[in-house]
Amino acid sequence: MCLFFSFYGILYADESSLKSNSINIPGNKYTLQVEHTLNPKVGYVDLNFRITETESKVQKNNYKISVVAEKGEEKFKTFALNNSTNPNVYKCVFDLEKSGQWIFKTSISEDEYEENIEFSIYIEERNRETSLFSLSSYLFAVIFLIIFLAPLYIFRKVIF
């Protein structure tokens, strides 16, 4: 029972929507609001877009948004998609494997009009402890001992 709640806590703490950072970027016709996780790290980067027309302050849900992430020679392209439960929010995910300043180029198109908006996000290096004396090493050793020594202890009279 305790194990179930601890896994639930880990899953809940890993939600990206709990802490987010928002950027508002005005363009000629559109204002792009970008939400991403606070202090994004190397790995999956979730981006949420909201588009508001600058003149009418109206949000529509019929845009086609392509997003290109660039850092040096590396380029990744994807499309931001919306869904029926929240049609005003467009979402996309990048799997970025290098830390540093990434430039995101968005192309927003509606009918015959297209606008390009750029923004940048700094991606931090993932904190990976590989030390022999790290907490994860001790945890792995304890779990290993429990899994393999517990059956030996339980069935000691049958085995020996």
Residue with the bigger pLDDT between 41 and 131: it is: 41
CA 26 from centroid of its chain's CA atoms: 24
Residue pair 65/90 in contact (Cβ under 8 Å)? The answer is: yes
pLDDT tops 60 at residue 11 = no
Mean pLDDT of 109-118: 89
Q: 19 with 83, same domain? A: yes
CA dist., res. 6 & res. 69, Å (int) = 36
pLDDT recorded at residue 12: 33
| Whole-number percent of the chain with pLDDT over 90 | 38
Q: 85 with 7, same domain? A: yes
Residue pair 102/40 in contact (Cβ under 8 Å)? The answer is: no
Q: 118 with 134, same domain? A: no
What's the Rg (C-alpha) of the chain? 23
CA 116 from centroid of its chain's CA atoms: 23
Its pTM surpasses 0.85: no
CA dist., res. 160 & res. 157, Å (int) = 6
CA dist., res. 91 & res. 61, Å (int) = 12
Q: 81 with 153, same domain? A: no
Cα–Cα nearest to 80, from 92, 68, 88: 92
CA dist., res. 42 & res. 39, Å (int) = 10
Domains held by the chain: number: 2
pLDDT tops 70 at residue 19 = no
Expressed as residue numbers, the domain containing 140 is: 130-160
First to last CA, the chain: 33
Mean pLDDT of 99-114: 91
pLDDT tens track for 27-77: 888 889 999 888 888 989 999 999 988 787 777 778 899 999 999 999 999
Q: 61 with 89, same domain? A: yes
Q: 74 with 139, same domain? A: no
Residue with the bigger pLDDT between 50 and 132: it is: 50
pLDDT tens track for 134-147: 777 788 889 988 99
